[in-house]
């Protein structure tokens, strides 16, 4: 019983520590949500945007700011489509097959990284991504320490060394 209380307390503390990143993510996802609704009503966006809370994140789905698939900022994830619809991107199915878990599990690991690093998460992610772009020619390459754990099977925040 006491262990559960401490685990929950650590989770809440991590979410507070990750708060600045989450604020950025809320602004980012909400901006895309408004853009998507406007475009959807005008017949310019293929699906209504969605908003839900699951897998350690406030999730924005069918969002034009989802990039090439998804972006996690703090305890928010912005998806370009809806990974729960069963009609996700073909590229996601390839990633899910390679990693051995759904794309939302990969993104959930990034929320945990944010809870560990707090305000240092975004600089860490940008630095790791830039190094991987230079050395691997891919943001998600093996030199990006923020991607190695989420790409593992089973997914985890950080890769074991």
Q: What's the mean pLDDT in 79-83?
A: 91
For residue 68, what pLDDT is reported?
81
46-60: average pLDDT: 97
Peptide bond into 154 cis (omega under 30): yes
Environment class of residue 59 by beta-carbon count within 10 Å: exposed (0-12), middle (13-18) or buried (19+)? Answer: buried
pLDDT at 6: 92
Per-residue pLDDT at 86 exceeds 80: no
- Asked whether the beta carbons of 104 and 55 are under 8 A apart, the reply is yes
SS3 61: strand
- Catalogue the E-assigned strands of 33-105: 50-54, 57-61, 70-73, 76-79
- How far apart CA 62 and CA 50 sit, in angstroms, is 6
Arithmetic mean of pLDDT over the chain: 93
Among residues 112, 111, 95, the alpha carbon closest in space to that of 152 is found at 95
pTM: 0.92
- The number of residues in the chain equals 161
């Amino acid at each position: 019983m006491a262990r559960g209380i401490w685990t929950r307390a650590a989770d809440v503390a991590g979410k507070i520590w990750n708060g600045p990143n989450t604020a950025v993510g809320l602004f980012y996802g909400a901006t895309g949500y408004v853009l998507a609704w406007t475009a959807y009503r005008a017949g310019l966006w293929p699906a209504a945007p969605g908003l839900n809370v699951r897998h350690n994140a406030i999730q924005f789905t069918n969002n034009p700011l989802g990039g090439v698939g998804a972006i996690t900022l703090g305890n928010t994830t912005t998806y370009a489509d809806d990974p729960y619809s069963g009609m996700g991107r073909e590229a996601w199915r390839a990633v899910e097959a390679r990693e051995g878990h759904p794309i939302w599990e990969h993104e959930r690991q990034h929320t945990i990284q944010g809870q560990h690093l707090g305000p240092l998460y975004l600089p860490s992610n940008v630095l790791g991504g830039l190094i991987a772009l230079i050395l691997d020619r891919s943001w998600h390459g093996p030199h990006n320490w923020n991607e190695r754990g989420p790409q593992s099977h089973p997914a985890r925040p950080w890769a074991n060394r």
